[in-house]
Structure 1
Amino acid sequence: MLLVWALLAALLPGAPVAAQPPAPPALHLPTPTGAYPVGTTWLHLTDAARSDPWRPESRRELMVSLWYPAVAAPGARAPYTTAAVSARIIAAEGLPLPPDLLATVRTSARRDVPVRPVARGWPLVVLSPGFSLSRESLTGLAEDLASRGYVVAGVDHPYEAWGVEFPDGRVADCLACELSVPDTAARLIEGRAADVAFLLDRLTGPRPAWQGARFIDPTRIGMVGHSIGGASATHALRADRRIDAAVNLDGTLFLPIPAGAVTKPFLLIGSDRPTDASWLRDWPGLTGWKRWLTVTGSGHLSFTDRPILGAQLGMDPGVIPADRQMLVTREYVAAFLDQHLRHRPRPLLAAPNEAYPEVLFCDAAA
């Protein structure tokens, strides 16, 4: 697995060392493309029935960001992350940046503004980040989906990210990062599926943890994950009957999928690298609607916010411009969710599209 911001280790190669490095530029995410203003709030949840898989002496706690279609109302822009989490990410990668830099990223969502009412309820999408990443890494995708009419729940899985900060100031450091992913894959994936099941209980059950939950349609739920989060989305699609469709963004399927076990809609989007053997192994056994797409010129982190922010810091994003990488992710994930949660056919998923020549329909998936 690639580490968070690994590509930034080569930031501004060859630049002379200055006594006082210049201040980094202001960082921002692209504006959401949908029709609705975006609101957000943070939830702290404790599963009293489950021990933490990394600290068995404690109950499992989650931090969750909710993004949603909002009523246009004044409100402060939401922080991208906290200063403590920013400092841990930057320190973990050894980056020559101010520790609180990621806390300064400009977002589009307004904090704690009212949810826009809707008669049927908004479809719900759960996001699970990659290994060592935290929930802010998928904010650009989350804000865009919310602007298109989805409630989006981004989950932090404590002790699996460089830092997860709780409201009382405690920070869960990455205990799992001391271990190898292949050796702990089943533990990671099954634990994340349990996290998501608990979150769905708290958002769609009889005693919801969020007052805006009355505007969620519990009959239309999708999950999208990046890297190990994608593998977890695959497993959760099998394990939880409430999840109707799932997207795996470049995640190795460490837990094999038994033939015929996944009959629900499933989208694989891979980076431009050698074909993942686990995808080849499990593809024939997926018996529902399915697509396998590869984005030419992309990398493992292309489906996150990292290329956008890295480019603003002067890093070369690679073959595909950073804003283009985010556009492709936003468009194809939204098309999949529209088609399978809203039952609106999206031609983008039917065949290669000349507007997106970098997106290939994999021959192995034909």
Structure 2
Amino acid sequence: MRPSRVAAATTLAILIGLGVMGAVGVTDALAQNGPRRGAWGRADRNAQPAPDGAGYVSKAPTHQVRTELAEWHDQARSRKVPIKAYIPAGAEPEPGGWPLVVFSHGGGGSRQGGTYLGEYLASRGYVVIAPQHAGSDIEAVRGSGRGLRKMRENLLKLASDERNLIVRPQDVSFVIDRALADGLPGVRIDQGRLGVMGHSFGAYTTMALGGMRVDAGGERDRSFRDARVGALLALSPQGQGQFGVDAGAWDDIDTPVVMLTGTKDSGNSPGGSYTWRTEPFKAIKARGGVPAYLGVITGAGHMAFADETNALLDGLMGGRDPRFHGWIGQVALATFDAFLRRDDDARAWLDAGGITAATGGQVSWETAGTRK
């Protein structure tokens, strides 16, 4: 393939892989152990979730799911925050209200990203809200130029713009504020059960809400920790040397966190190895004191955590398998069941590395700070 085609395809891979596509309307309840067939795009149309009983099985009942689009306005920051909400349909909320999980999209993405996780978690009784982060979204990548070269330049700019390191976690805290203040009419949220998840740049956002310190806006070791957040799920997190993160960045994380990457998820890492993405887990494990988990999916690349792709992009950006979303969905549901619903069986499944058995060893698993 000519270099120009590689560059163009790589740009498209980043744009599509970081969550541009999505779905609207009411969906059927998802399968027992993973997102429903086809929930994540054309490439996985024939995908099957894990067989019943082979993976994590939640105690929560299944629901149909409805979605809502809205544009919220943060007056304190004079900033618009478009959102997409996934809501259990036709069901009474749990005592105290629904648990809430906020999904943060990757660079160049939109509120339509993470559809497969939004639908799956909502089908199990979570409200999921996906904000669109202006300044690092698809509109910022498009900018004033529509050519691939211009879009690639814009993507590089947004990744290096320190303002995005600041406004992204602030967006999530604002979304939590608004959701708790009846931002979704008739949808009651339990203020004691709040979680955050995100992919790539969204993983940065997720870790920042959990207490990761960053150098941004001319300040060192800046914190955006939101003490209300009770669980984190970081998909393709970053190691040192990107997004203002240094060796001590994870010293203050005190929120239970699950991290997922893949053996082909090299991304922008030095030397091209996925092990760069395991640095946050290693640092938290060495320090101790907080439950932390690391799953590595054999053969999974950066695109494995996104909604849609094709064969060309898979070849350029790393591995993908129709089973991956089912596995990711199981881990996501177990994470939030364990730490938001405080389900002992979900916690035991995480502590024991249940996903490894469920996948026949295709997902390796490490734990830190687990119960004896």
TM range (shorter): 0.5 to 0.7
Cα distance, 1:135–1:272 mapped onto 2, change above 3 Å: farther
Q: Does the CA contact (< 8 Å) of 2:11 and 2:152 recur in 1?
A: no
Matches within 5 A, 1:95-110: none
Percentage identity across paired residues of the two chains: 27
Q: Deviations over 1:299-354 (max 9, x none)?
A: 112112124xx36x9977975522x0111110111111111111113243123432
Aligned twin of 1:331: 330
SS at match of 1:328: helix
1:227 pairs with 2:231: no
Structure 1 residues 193-213: Cα deviation after superposition (integer angstroms, max 9, x where no partner): 1101111111113xx322033
Question: Structure 2 vs 1, CA of residues 360 and 163 (structure 1 numbering), >3 Å: closer, same or farther?
Answer: same
Report if the CA contact (8 A) 1:263-1:288 is conserved: yes
Match of 1:147 in 2: 123
Structure 2 CA distance for aligned equivalents of residues 360 and 331 of structure 1:
14
Q: Look up the equivalent residue of 1:35 and give its one-letter code.
A: T
The amino acid of 2:276's aligned partner reads D
Alpha-carbon distance between aligned partners in 2 of 1:364 and 1:241, rounded to the nearest angstrom: 21
Q: Amino acid of the residue matched to residue 67 of structure 1?
A: Y
| CA apart distance, 1:161 | 1.7
Instruction: With the length of structure 1 as denominator, give the TM-score of the two structures.
Output: 0.67
Q: 1:355 aligns with which of 349, 355, 358?
A: 358
Which residue number in structure 2 is paired with residue 217 of structure 1?
A: 190
The amino acid that maps onto 2:72 is L
Could you tell me which amino acid in structure 2 is paired with residue 70 of structure 1?
A
| Structure 1 residue matching 2:304: 3-state secondary structure | helix
C-alpha distance in structure 2 between counterparts of 1:210 and 1:143, whole Å:
17
Distance 1:61 1:28, change over 3 A: farther
CA deviation after TM superposition for structure 1 residue 237, in Å: 1.8
The answer to whether the Cα contact below 8 Å between 1:36 and 1:69 also exists between their aligned partners in 2 is: yes
Q: Contact conserved, 2:291 with 2:367, CA < 8 A, in 1?
A: no
Q: Structure 1 residues 252, 202: closer, same or farther in 2, change over 3 A?
A: same
**Residues 1:119 and 1:281: Cα distance change in structure 2 (over 3 Å):** closer
Deviation for aligned residue 1:261: 1.1
Alpha-carbon contact 1:244-1:264 (below 8 Å) kept? yes
Please tell me whether residue 179 in structure 1 is matched to residue 157 in structure 2. yes
Contact 2:74 2:80 in 1 (8 A): yes
1:296 alignment partner, SS class = strand
Structure 2: how far apart are the matches of 1:176 and 1:318?
A: 23
- Structure 2 distance, partners of 1:226, 1:123, is 20
Q: Secondary structure at the match of 1:241?
A: coil
Alpha-carbon separation, structure 2, partners of 1:7 and 1:174: 9
Partner of 1:5: 13
Contact 2:302 2:318 in 1 (8 A): no
2:55 is matched with none
Q: Distance in 2 between matches of 1:341 and 1:363?
A: 19
2:260 is aligned, of 235, 257, 269, to 269
Q: 1:315 to 1:301 in 2, by over 3 A?
A: closer
- Residue in 1 that maps onto 2:147: none
Does 1:60 find its partner at 2:79? yes
Alignment correspondent of 1:321: 321
Please give the alpha-carbon distance, in whole angstroms, between the structure 2 residues aligned to 1:117 and 1:364. 33
Q: Deviations over 1:72-107 (max 9, x none)?
A: xxxxxxxxxxxxxxxxxxxxxxxxxxxxxxxxxxxx
- 1:232-285, Cα deviation, whole Å (9 max, x unpaired): 111112211111111110021543455641122011111214201643663334
Distance 1:175 1:223, change over 3 A: farther
**2:358 match: secondary structure:** coil
Corresponding residue of 2:103: 127
- In structure 2, give the amino acid aligned to 1:177: L
| CA shift in 2, pair 1:4/1:70, >3 Å | farther
Does 2:226 match 1:199?
Answer: no
1:37 pairs, out of 64, 83, 90, with: 64
1:260–1:285: 8 Å Cα contact kept in structure 2?
yes
CA–CA distance in 1 between the matches of 2:131 and 2:250? 29
Residues 190, 235 of structure 1: 8 Å contact kept: no
TM-score (normalizing by structure 2): 0.66
1:60 Cα deviation after fit: 1.2
CA 363–175 in structure 1, closer or farther in 2 if over 3 Å, else same: same
1:246 maps to: 232
Partner of 1:47: 74
Give the direction of change, closer, same or farther, for the CA distance of 1:174–1:318 in structure 2 (3 Å limit): closer
Q: Cα distance, 1:364 vs. partner?
A: 9.7
Q: Contact (CA 8 Å) 1:161, 1:177: kept in 2 or not?
A: no
Query: 1:306 is matched with which residue?
Result: 308
AA in 1 matched with 2:295 = L
Question: CA distance change for structure 1 residues 129 and 35 in 2, over 3 Å: closer, same or farther?
Answer: same
Which stretches in structure 1 are left out of the alignment for 5+ residues?
10-24, 51-58, 72-114, 165-172
Number of aligned residue pairs: 282
- CA distance change for structure 1 residues 41 and 364 in 2, over 3 Å: closer, same or farther? closer
Q: 1:219, CA displacement in angstroms?
A: 0.7
Letter in 2 for 1:145: L
